[in-house]
Structure 1
Amino acid sequence: MSDFSNALSVSASGLKAQAQRLVHVSENIANADTPGYRRKTVSFETAFAGSEGTGAVEVSRVNLDRRELQKIYDPSHPLADETGHYQGSTVDLMIEIADAREAQRSYEANLKMFDQVRQMSAGLMDLLRR
């Protein structure tokens, strides 16, 4: 049964990691028009149990996009300088939409894996009861 629980924990860690990724993508989309906002990205790393890797993943620290902020010309904006420019954000909505779709599909794949392991475990229990 430890293989089943290991498979469940691996898929659960994937679900958790992709959910966290979707949180940051949604924050980026919500702040796309916020002046001075820097895009947040997350990366994943292998989770270790003791001294060995289990195949599970976890979210490492959140990184901010260090690209130069885009300059937007709008002399009527309250943050505009004497030339009429203000600093926009580093969020590109096309990239965020692509990241959201990728995270969603990865989440769904982990969910299907979780469900398959659960069904296999239930099937094994039914066989053992006979």
Structure 2
Amino acid sequence: MSEFAKSLSVSASGLQAQASRLRHLSENISNSDTPGYRRKTIPFRTAFDSNQGVASVEVGRMSLDDRPLDRIYDPGHPMADDTGHYEGSNVDLLIELADAREAQRSYEANLKMFEQTRQMSSSLMQLLRR
């Protein structure tokens, strides 16, 4: 596998990982007001392919955040107990938006790396044609 292909493979794995992260973050944001909803998280890990000599990013199994759910006082809510409370979600919008910004920037960095590698490969091919 050429060095260009290796570089493209690493960038593509980063793009896929950040896209998956953004998908889960958007689900968390859209369900932040859903009673009983638990925040979803996904871990990243490095995977080394010894055949190609390339390390890439892999997405692990999605897990639910085990922090306690918010207790919300609203006696008129259909899910309220005898004390007038019900369990909300454990999604903190500030954290989700910060994570989304970080994932977006990481995605953009991987995309830039992908584009630069593609441009270098194209330039090399033009030089070799001369």
Q: TM-score, normalization: structure 2?
A: 0.96
Q: 1:84: which partner in 2?
A: 84
Structure 1: gaps spanning 5 or more residues = none
Give me the whole-angstrom Cα distance separating, in 1, the residues matched to 2:41 and 2:75: 31
Q: Against the structure 1 CA distance between its residues 53 and 92, is the aligned structure 2 distance closer, same or farther, given a 3 Å change threshold?
A: farther
For the aligned residue pairs, the C-alpha RMSD in angstroms reads 1.4
Q: Which has the higher strand share?
A: 1
Q: Residue deviations 1:47-91, cap 9 Å, x none?
A: 232478622101011121001111000000000000000001010
SS in structure 1 at match of 2:114: helix
Give me the whole-angstrom Cα distance separating, in 1, the residues matched to 2:54 and 2:94: 34
Is the 8 Å Cα contact of residues 38 and 91 (structure 2) preserved in structure 1?
Answer: yes
Amino acid at match of 1:35: P
Q: 1:96: which partner in 2?
A: 96
Instruction: Confirm or deny that 1:15 pairs with 2:6.
Output: no
Q: 1:43: which partner in 2?
A: 43
Is the 8 Å Cα contact of residues 46 and 53 (structure 1) preserved in structure 2?
Answer: no
Structure 2: gaps spanning 5 or more residues = none
- Aligned length, in residue pairs: 130
Q: TM-score, normalization: structure 1?
A: 0.96
Amino acid at match of 1:109: A
Q: Against the structure 1 CA distance between its residues 72 and 53, is the aligned structure 2 distance closer, same or farther, given a 3 Å change threshold?
A: farther
How far 1:97 moved relative to its partner?
0.3
